Amino acid sequence: MSEKRCAATRKGYNWKGSEAILPSILHEQLFLEAMEVTTERTLLMVKPDGVRRSLLGLIIARIEQKGLVISNMRMFRMDDAFARTFYAEHDGRDYFPALLSFMTSGPVVALQVESPNAIVLVRTAIGATRPEDRLPGTIRADFSTQLTENVVHASASPTDAERELALVFGDSHTTLGAVHE
């Protein structure tokens, strides 16, 4: 019995006929499981300028076209306390007050994105923070010319992702589905 069949049988799938009848997504999932590739979760946040400019649909489309899964979504407005906690690593920098003012200026949309290598894939899709370093075709290059008002934020590491997802979604970041307020 092939490794795919063994993995699928362990998952409770019955084999009747050809392996070709399995949807391609199942083949990919079984391959990733057999290779012990784990899914990462990361946060992608559309900032107030992106929401104000109605870019949410375009940004979601880019993430989904890349094959990444959006497993949780929340629209909310940051208050000063939340913004200070979320961006605590920037506290004390000269741009911190402007960052807080900007991030509390309107609603944001937080997306929990899942995929193998999600953090690197999302950060590559959004592009560099500094305008002069942005590659054409990235979200920031296509939709922003500024340093702070740069449309999106994405977690930089697995540690950052878990901290930011917990702040934004609480315990619901471990399950699929939208958070409703």
Active site residues: 153
- Core vs surface per residue 46-75: b (16+ CB within 10 A) or e: bbbbbbeeebeeebbebbeeeebeebbbbe
| Residues pairing with 42 in the sheet | 113
Instruction: Return d(Cα 103, Cα 109) in angstroms, integer.
Output: 11
Q: Which tokens belong to 172?
A: 């619901």
Short-list 156, 67, 68, 161, CA closest to 114: 68
